[in-house]
Amino acid sequence: MFKLSWRNSLRHPLRSGLTISGMAVAVLAFCLLRTVVAAWYAGVTTASPVRLVVRNAVSLTFRLPMSYYARIQALPGIKRVTYGSWVGGTYIDEKNFFPQIAGHLPTYLAIYPEFVIASDEMSALLQDRRGCVAGRKLAERYGWRLGDLITITGTAYPGRYELVLRAIYRGDAPTVDEGRMYFHYDFLNETIKKRMPDMADMVGWFMVQVDSPELVGPVSEQIDAMFANSLAETKTESEAAFVLGMISMTEAIILAIRVVSWLVIGVILMVLSNTMAMSARERLGEYAVLKTLGFRPRHLAGVILGESLLLALMGGILGLVLTFPAVYLFKTSLSQYFRVFPLTNLTLALGMATSLAVGVLAALFPAWQASRVGIAEALRKVG
């Protein structure tokens, strides 16, 4: 039966080629859209189970007093505390967007062991109050080298900040974001004290590292209880929950992408179903002859199912092969928006499974039609 299915699938080369190409494009689009969704959730997968984010209970745009630092650090079960603020500045012009975070670098970088920095670069960074560290991909994007002067124009904190690139970090895994910049909060705070005294000694958030994942809940409750009924109440949550909260603000976009990815598969299902239906109608006479030779309905259904699966499989494999260069191009051209663009094994497996499912579904009606065909009726038909 496999031989019959193989020959039938190649009987109309143009039709088969167009069907395989359509299937490949659909699988390619499906995998790309699923990769976009995976990129959105990349921060969740890389979140540490022992890191907490302490922010203002009202909103992330409201800041917290620096005085909270020592009080949080004194709680039991806490290994390390650091703080940071979103600078939201621009480099040269607004098109060059990338995250800039001002933090207490000795503790901030220690709380992120996934950021790998050479020891000599780390030493130079910590000794220079204007020093900054950039991710490897960010440095490659702008051609930065160690010692370069980088001027950031602040938006959240207005002003011009001239920074010196002292270190470049790389991620210890492909999913680590290498498109950020970090510099000393003290350098930022000095400027704030001169220009905006009321915003001085205020930070955007505190990062807390606990001794074990079991302490996440109890420590979160202790921190929030400590600052309850204060002028700046806190909301403490795990790093993964914090990232999910940020993602939820774009939930409608993610839902739309997911719907479109399945609509693409639905369209190619109709195309392949139409191809198989045309083939079944053209071969009714052949099916009648096969029945007279002793072929049972299940044999005919197997031939049609085999043909549909072969077309779907060839299209699926071609689509998956094309996904790799397409993801690379997307990653290169959209690095400003997606600093991590992971093509996961789950996405590839889902693309292949979907193409096979389309092949099975597309063959159901033609197989049922062929199995029920009457020999005399089919042989009377001409053309």
Give the pLDDT confidence score for residue 40 in this predicted structure: 73
Give the pLDDT confidence score for residue 23 in this predicted structure: 85
Give the pLDDT confidence score for residue 345 in this predicted structure: 85
Give the pLDDT confidence score for residue 358 in this predicted structure: 84
Give, to the nearest 10 degrees, the angle between helix 297-333 and helix 2-9. 50
Give the pLDDT confidence score for residue 344 in this predicted structure: 81
Q: Does 243 fall in a domain? A: no
Q: Are residues 211 and 286 in the same domain?
A: no
Q: Are residues 216 and 323 in the same domain?
A: no
Give the pLDDT confidence score for residue 103 in this predicted structure: 94
Q: How many domains does the chain have?
A: 2
Give the pLDDT confidence score for residue 273 in this predicted structure: 77
Give the pLDDT confidence score for residue 276 in this predicted structure: 72
Q: Are residues 214 and 147 in the same domain?
A: yes
Q: Are residues 269 and 209 in the same domain?
A: no
Q: Are residues 99 and 187 in the same domain?
A: yes
Q: Does 219 fall in a domain? A: yes
Q: Does 240 fall in a domain? A: no
Exposure on the CB side of residue 357, measured as CA atoms within 13 A: 10
Q: Are residues 103 and 174 in the same domain?
A: yes
Q: Are residues 170 and 209 in the same domain?
A: yes
Give the pLDDT confidence score for residue 5 in this predicted structure: 62
Phi, psi of 209 (to 5 degrees): -110, 120
Q: Give 332-367 as a DSSP string.
A: HHTTTT-S-----HHHHHHHHHHHHHHHHHHHHHHH
Q: Does 241 fall in a domain? A: no
Q: Are residues 325 and 190 in the same domain?
A: no
pLDDT along the chain (383 residues), means of 10: 62 77 87 82 77 92 92 93 90 84 94 93 95 93 94 85 95 85 94 86 94 92 93 92 74 78 81 72 62 66 77 89 87 65 83 86 76 60 52
Q: How far apart are CA 183 and CA 166, in angstroms?
A: 10
Domain of 221? Answer: 58-232
Q: 199, 232, 265 — which closes off a domain?
A: 232
Q: Are residues 119 and 208 in the same domain?
A: yes
User: Looking at residue 112, what DSSP letter applies?
Assistant: -
Q: Are residues 148 and 287 in the same domain?
A: no
Q: 200, 232, 264 — which closes off a domain?
A: 232
258-297 residues labelled b (16+ CB within 10 A) or e (exposed): eeebeebbeebbebbbebbeebbeebbbebbebbeeebee
Closest C-alpha among 312, 231, 339 to residue 27: 312
